[in-house]
Structure 1
């Protein structure tokens, strides 16, 4: 075999033999988010054209989580917090007590205004009921008109305050019947204190009441 034939045979043999294998890269491949900051995750962008329109394809619309009607979302309460609760009996009693309190306030005011003139008559009536000597005279002091004016003003304020407070509680559905009762007790205490102050304005009259046992 000549040199040229040996070279051709070697070349044909080289073409038929497989190429040498490449070295395998054993280094770890980088992953998504490997060098991203902590807490960050990559999200692929969403093509608006690729998302089917629920209004056009006829598929039912699923509300987002937390929306009214969403699966797992808390149901809305039947009534909002703080809504007025119907209390017909309480409303009826409150209105009736306020009307009664209005008449009571008028009566108390008339009683206070006439107190200097009726003080002696009241003392005589009480003395007759107890069987003791009645006082013979009553002279109101100079501070009596001012004391009576304060008592009248307190009567009006007590009723107006009860009216406004009761209306505010009725609008919010809370019990209000006890407010006119409380105002009536306060008005009675005012009348009692004013009466004692009017009687005490005449020391001789007060002394006669004490000695008579009234």
Structure 2
């Protein structure tokens, strides 16, 4: 081979006008993409400036939210601590159990103890007391309603007090209000039982000369 033939490039036509065949293109063995075409080799995508700022905003907000939650936790924990209120609430609820038992028993024996109670009251006031009492037909139902209301008031006070203590709120006044309501119920039921006997009620409320 001469120096001229060795120096001849593939694109240089050979003597006699013959052109060598072009080199085959490289075959892309990657799978064909579903949409569009592959980017040329060496190309990289850089997100716009606005997109980078939007992506960084949630990441910056997360520590702030966590810090706010951590700051609120001691406040909530401090608000939920009421040892004195808790002790008074439990004591009043326990006392309320005794009140329910006493009031229910008093209502149950009320028809039998009406005359004796009236005599004791009259003796203290220096008055004449009725000597007989005939309960009306509605007395058993009134007594049952009174006992049921005693139990309902105590259970309601227990549930409400527990809910307020769990929420960190003052609860001692709940059983106290329930106790006052229970006393009012007993008084009303007692008056209705007395009034079931018109003669007895008239002698009890009418002063004698």
Question: What TM-score results when the alignment is normalised by the length of structure 1?
Answer: 0.66
Partner-residue secondary structure (3-state), 1:79 = helix
Q: Which has the higher helix share?
A: 2
For structure 1, the 5+ residue unaligned runs are: 1-43, 48-62
State whether residues 134 and 212 of structure 1, in contact with CA within 8 Å, keep that contact through their aligned partners in structure 2: no
* TM-aligned CA distance change 1:212 to 1:96, over 3 Å: same
* TM-aligned CA distance change 1:69 to 1:153, over 3 Å: closer
For structure 2, the 5+ residue unaligned runs are: 1-43, 48-57
Q: Deviations over 1:96-153 (max 9, x none)?
A: 0000011011100001001101000000011111111110110000100000000000
* TM-aligned CA distance change 1:124 to 1:79, over 3 Å: same
How many residue pairs get aligned? The number is 153
Question: What TM-score results when the alignment is normalised by the length of structure 2?
Answer: 0.67
Q: CA deviation at 1:75?
A: 4.3
State whether residues 138 and 202 of structure 1, in contact with CA within 8 Å, keep that contact through their aligned partners in structure 2: yes
- 1:157 corresponds to: 152
* TM-aligned CA distance change 1:75 to 1:207, over 3 Å: closer
Aligned counterparts, 1:45-124, within 5 A: 45-46=45-46, 64-68=59-63, 75-80=68-73, 85-124=80-119
Please give the alpha-carbon distance, in whole angstroms, between the structure 2 residues aligned to 1:152 and 1:192.
Answer: 12
Partner-residue secondary structure (3-state), 2:61 = coil
* Root-mean-square deviation over aligned CA pairs: 2.4
* TM-aligned CA distance change 1:76 to 1:143, over 3 Å: closer
Match of 2:126 among 123, 131, 139: 131
State whether residues 199 and 206 of structure 1, in contact with CA within 8 Å, keep that contact through their aligned partners in structure 2: yes
* TM-aligned CA distance change 1:69 to 1:202, over 3 Å: closer
- Which is worse superposed, 189-198 or 130-139? 130-139
Question: Which stretches of structure 1, 4 residues or longer, exceed 2 Å deviation after superposition?
Answer: 73-84
